[in-house]
Each structure stands twice: as structure tokens, then as C-alpha cells.
Amino acid sequence: MFSHVRHFMAVAFQTTDVPLGKGDDIDAPPVVGNVPKGLELPSHTAYRWISKEEMRDLGVTSAITKVLKLLDSSEKKKRKKKKVVKKDKGKGEEKEKETTVKEERDSKRLKVSEKVYKMVAFDMDGTLLNPKHYLSEPSKAKLRELSALGVKIAIATGRSGPAVYDHVEDLGLTSMDVPAVVYNGGMILNFKAGDKASSAKIVQTCPVPASTVEKVVAFAKRRSLLVQYYTHGTITVNPLDDKHRNFIGRYAELTGATHTIVDDGYKGVTSREGALKLLVMTDDPDGVKEDLEKELPPGTTCIRGSPPFFVEILAPNVSKGATLVKLCENVGVAMEDTVAFGDGDNDFEFIRDVGYGIAMKNGRDMVKSIAKRVTDFTNEEDGVEKCLTALQQEGLLPKWDVEKR
């Protein structure tokens, strides 16, 4: 992490016979700045080969320190031998076969990580919820099991807070709080274990700038499009025709949300409260998104909706992934220790930035392309529950010790 920017490094390791001190000066830029005494290099040399021991004395960056630790760990594992004793029945002689830990692992299914993850975060529509928009019994049972085993269960959704209440209560986790990113990153909520979901605590909000709201409303008015204006607990709409009212009905059927209808062009709600997010309702989300981005301030988050009949607008640099970083800080779990499931465009950063990102089989190709894994089943087939069970079998999530039980 550098200045709130996450850097990901892939480390390649190989052995070479380059003499220490030899530099590579092919098309290399000159060294600039003051060079510490004893480390002077010709002006045309960009770098030189040094030993691992010497590197530790050079005051390298924390990123390179992590690389060195990774190298140490790799070398220790290679040196570690496992002895397998076999008896030759005919001669009664013992023969020893040595296999490295690496060879033993290669004979098993490849694992991306050997750690046990501490938190699992879920997108809702298209992921944790089935096509009828509710939690299946197998999904609820699996999440309750993981929670009882000490795994933190989190939600990251584009839905409003109230559109999550019923699902949190249906899940019924009583031993552990459920943190949630809602409004696609516009807010963090914490659902206290055992309390009514409607009493969830607001941890943080990231409202859309008022100037951006004005531009979106003006754009929609010129295109005769409907805007959904989100404040916490309220979705305000100003429908002008039957097409607008049809969009309101489609969205209510999808999420169970209710709408507050006004006829003042959003003047009342904008004067009272900032928007946590805006939705421009359209059956051409890709085209509208492209045109809208040309008119909005640089950095404004603009997302193709999932399902694709709207475009979402958030504050600059706000997304599920960015807000999940803050959620992790609040609950004391690192992003690297988190598994995440998602399916849509708004899950891209969310899946990319966690320790183990998983895309749904029914998900978008762009999400699958950056995921470490794709589920074998869709959300209609309880894909999340089945994948969580597989992760337990692989040792990436805890499971009950049958003998102790």
C-alpha cells in the first residue's frame, strides 16, 4: 500500500551465474542524485547485480523486503525433506525415498493460497441471491456454519441499506456482526448481531458531489430519462411518463425497494440531503454510460448496472472495492485475508483487490478475467454454497473437526 494505492507484484525467481557487481548498461539511463560512498557506479549504469546479503544492508523498500522474505521462505521449503520409509519384503532392507515439499504439493490440486481466510464478502443480486432474489436454505446454512467457525460474513452490494434489511434478518447470524458496503460503496453499515436490521449503525458515507448531481439530472432531462436519487432509506424519483413508471416497477420487483415520487425535478431532496448514488434508468446502459462520462467530472465513478437497465453514478473513486478496504480497516481484517464473490461490472475492483476473488459462473466475462476462480455453478444452482464447501475441503476456509464433534 502506498498513499492509499494498492500495488500487486508478481515475483519470478531464477538462478544465474552473473558476477557480483556487474551492471547492465544497455540503453540504460544515467544514475541521478547522490550515490552513497562505496556504492558509486559509472554514470551510464542503471543497476548492478548484488548478493542477497548485500541487499539487506542497502536500505531497500518495504516491497523488496517482502520479496526477500518470500525468497527465504521458498528456500527453506526446498531444503526441507520428507523421508518416506519403505520395506523391501524379499530382502528386508529399508530404502529411503526423499521428496521435497514442492514435489509433494505438485501431486495435489494446485492451491492459490495455503492460508485460511478470515472473512468472506458477498455481492447479492446475481451472486448470493438466487434469480428469485432470496437466500436459499443451503446458502443460509453454509453462512451460519462459517460464522460459527469464526469467519466474518460481509455484504457488498449496490442495493440501498433498507433493501438489505430483510436478507440480513433472514440470514439470522446471532454470534457475529455483519458489516456491509451498500449503495455500491456510498455507505458502510454495521448490522449488530441479534438486533433489528433497521437499527444498523452508519459507519461512513461518501455522497456524490452536488455539482455532479446537477449534471446528471440535466443530462437525464435532455434525454427524457428517469433518475433514481438515493438518500439513506429513500429512493426519490420524478417520473414523467409511463416508460418511467415501468422502470420504477421493474426496479421494485428486483430489489423490493419502495420509491418516493415527487414532481419538483428533485429540487426538494437535493436541498435537504446529498445523494449516496444516482441511477439513470435506461435499456441502453452502455451507450448512456459512454455519453454520460463525457459530461461528468474526471474520476466520477460510472458503472453499467447489473441487471443491465440502468447506469450508476457514485462519488469520485468510490466503488465496492475501495469502500471494502475501509470496511476491512474498521473490522480489523486485512483485504489479503478476505474472499469475495461477485458477478457484475460493479464487482470488478471488489474481486480484483481481495486476497481471493471469485467470479460466478453466471457472471460477466470482465469479472471472470480478473478472478482467481470461477464457480462451477450459477447463483440459481447455489453456486456460492457449493464453492464455499469446496474452499473448506481445500483448507482455505475452516471446517468442523468431525472427530472432535
CB 179 within 8 A of CB 189: yes
Tell me the per-residue pLDDT of 293-334, one tens digit each, with 9 for 90 and over. 999 998 899 988 877 899 999 999 899 999 999 999 999 999
Grid coordinates standing for 33?
542524485
Q: What is the pTM of this model?
A: 0.66
Q: Cβ distance 348 to 364 under 8 Å?
A: no
Would you tell me the crossing angle of helices 162-171 and 137-148 to the nearest 10 degrees? Answer: 70
C-alpha cell at 199: 437499527
Contact 280/221 with Cβ under 8 angstroms?
A: no
C-beta neighbour count of 169 within 10 angstroms: 14
Among the residues of 178-241, which ranges form H helices?
A: 210-223
Are 156 and 340 in contact by the 8 Å Cβ rule? The answer is: yes
Domains of the chain by range and CATH?
1-79 (no CATH), 119-206+319-393 (3.40.50.1000), 210-314 (3.30.1240.10)
N-term to C-term CA, the chain: 41
Please give the mean pLDDT across all residues of the chain.
83
Question: How much is the pLDDT for 101?
Answer: 43
**In this predicted model, what pLDDT tens digit does every residue of 27-59 receive, in sequence order?**
444 444 555 555 555 555 556 677 777 776 777
220: CB partners within 8 A, 6+ apart: 226, 227, 280
